[in-house]
Amino acid sequence: MSLTPEQRIELHEFNNLTKSLSFNMYDICYTGTKEERERYIQYIDEQYNADRLTAILTKVTEIIGAHVLNVAKQDYIPQGASVTMLVSEGPVESAPKEQFEESPGPIPETVVMHLDKSHVTVHTYPEYHPNEGISTFRADIDVSTCGEISPLKALNYLIHSFDTDIMTIDYRVRGFTRDKTGHKLFIDHDINSIQNYIPDDVQEQFNMIDVNIFQENIFHTKAKLKDFDLNNYLFGTKKEDLTAEEQQKIEAQLKMEMDEIFYGKNIVKK
């Protein structure tokens, strides 16, 4: 369904569609000792503390055209952080036309536009395997909007804001709005795939799979980084300090962890 700008804004009262984006990113690391695990958790807590997460979400609200009404943020002990923002909407007539197109949004640079009864949240989950030395950092970001502009326009910025090995992305449009004649609209913009909101250079770095239910306006994409350099996954040691056997064992553990997260199930070792 392709709508003209005039059709987009000629609705009966408020646009009641709710558009929800859930972006989950995972960073995988090998921490061979208790001290390395503790330092990794400390590093993550410093890198993604509540203040930095607030700055990221503030930029997200700018991209989707929102005004921040309220911010609640918290750093947790022993680890993790959360930020929740309540946002409101301004007029969409001044929004650039490209905000309604099925294309990637901006990366971390300057953006201007203006959501109603909506929210943006982020929660972080650092954790580690009790026996195998694998540490995992997960960040869950949810962007829920009512109105014209899709939160998918914030996806490109979010991808560039985190170091990610695996991404799972969900997008859903709920409810309906009415045009001037009373005809229901269950979605008000074209979408073929979440991947169309991810730039080509990012797509080239990942293996991506879509699971979409078009008739229900539900879209799902998951992605796993293609390149694997062991040095990028070691915390507190270097590949050159390990024997060939140790390198092989650690690489197998890391790849197993990534595959299990990507496919969403435990994989039995052969």
Burial category of 60 from C-beta neighbours within 10 Å (exposed 0-12, middle 13-18, buried 19 and up): buried
Which residue among the candidates 20, 88, 103, 123 is catalytic per the annotation?
Answer: 123
Torsion angle (degrees, nearest 10) of CA 50, 53, 55, 56? 180
Strand ranges across the sheet with 206-210: 66-75, 81-89, 118-128, 134-146, 18-30, 166-174, 218-225, 206-210
Per DSSP, the three-state class of 5 is: helix
Contacts of 103 (CB under 8 A, 6+ apart): 196, 197
Strands (E), the chain: 18-30, 66-75, 81-89, 118-128, 134-146, 166-174, 177-178, 184-185, 206-210, 218-225
CA separation (Å) from 142 to 68, 135, 172?
15, 23, 11
Which residue among the candidates 146, 150, 161, 189 is catalytic per the annotation?
Answer: 146
Q: How far apart are CA 173 and CA 196, in angstroms?
A: 16
CATH number of this structure's domain 18-89+112-263, picked from the four choices 3.90.480.10, 3.30.830.10, 3.60.90.10, 3.60.10.10: 3.60.90.10
Q: How far apart are CA 114 and CA 109, in angstroms?
A: 17
Which residue among the candidates 29, 118, 135, 189 is catalytic per the annotation?
Answer: 118
Q: pLDDT in tens for each of the 270 residues of the chain?
A: 454 444 444 544 567 788 999 999 999 999 988 889 889 988 998 899 999 999 999 999 888 878 888 899 999 888 899 999 988 765 444 444 554 455 555 443 333 333 445 789 999 998 888 888 899 999 999 998 876 767 898 999 999 999 899 999 999 999 888 878 888 888 888 899 999 999 999 999 999 999 999 999 999 999 999 999 999 999 988 899 999 999 999 999 999 999 999 999 998 876
Contacts of 173 (CB under 8 A, 6+ apart): 17, 18, 19, 20, 186, 187, 217
146: annotated active-site residue: yes
Sorted by where each begins, the domain ranges of the chain are 18-89+112-263
Selection from 160, 138, 146 nearest residue 60 by Cα = 160
Other CB atoms within 10 A of residue 172 CB: 16
